[in-house]
Amino acid sequence: MPESTLQSLRILRDPSFFQWHYAVLIAFVAYVYANEIERKNWDVILGALAFYGLEWFLEIMNGFVLHFTGYSAVWTTTGRTIYQLLPGLTLEISMMFAAVAVIFLKLLPKDKHMKILGINNRVFFWITNSIFMVIMECIVHAWGYLIWNYSWWNFPNVWLIIFIGYMPYFMLSFYVHDHPKIKVKIAIVSSLFTVDLVLFLVFAIGLRWM
């Protein structure tokens, strides 16, 4: 196994790394969602939860890659963290995804048919938001805290991270945000989180595959 994988596994769900500023992160995310709840902005809330639920699903799939290859996850997080939840997911990253999903959705134009540079604004933001997130990942990767151990998920193949790693987040969250039926939104989000919870409890906590 690469050293990055071993480093991640050594601190995986180890409570000895606990630090009190975790409370600030959780309070910040709670405040972000409380503001939207106060405004009854259910489109943003449910769209953001879909984004966050898919993040957990893909992180669990990333853990499966490590388990079945016995080598490395597709992406691995290393360095100091409050809590390493999964091989590629820290508590800090998890809270970031929960909050940034709300931000991206609040920036969407209300008119889903409006065009930007001749492109439907939803498609435009699928692409530009994904590129922005990958640029942020490239910076952290360059600093040595986000490790890509496979050549097909590394430079110069960052296009794969854009179109497979991030675009599905925005496609799903925008779809949930724009869907006219609240029951459909709730069904998608609740189903996603149910699958996440079962997978995490069985394979991460129970079998300790990741």
- pLDDT given for residue 155 in this prediction: 86
| Model confidence pLDDT, tens digit, residues 179-205 | 999 999 999 999 999 999 999 999 999
Angstrom distance (rounded) from CA 116 to CA 125: 9
pTM: 0.95
- pLDDT given for residue 17 in this prediction: 87
| In contact, 105 and 177? CB cutoff 8 Å | yes
Q: Which of 38, 31, 3 is nearest to 144 (CA)?
A: 3
Q: Where are the domains of the chain?
A: 3-206
- pLDDT given for residue 150 in this prediction: 97
- pLDDT given for residue 59 in this prediction: 98
Element (H, E) at 86: strand 84-86
For the chain, list residues with pLDDT below 70: none
Sign of CA pseudo-dihedral 108, 110, 113, 118: negative
Q: 3-state DSSP call for residue 84?
A: strand
Q: 3-state DSSP call for residue 147?
A: strand
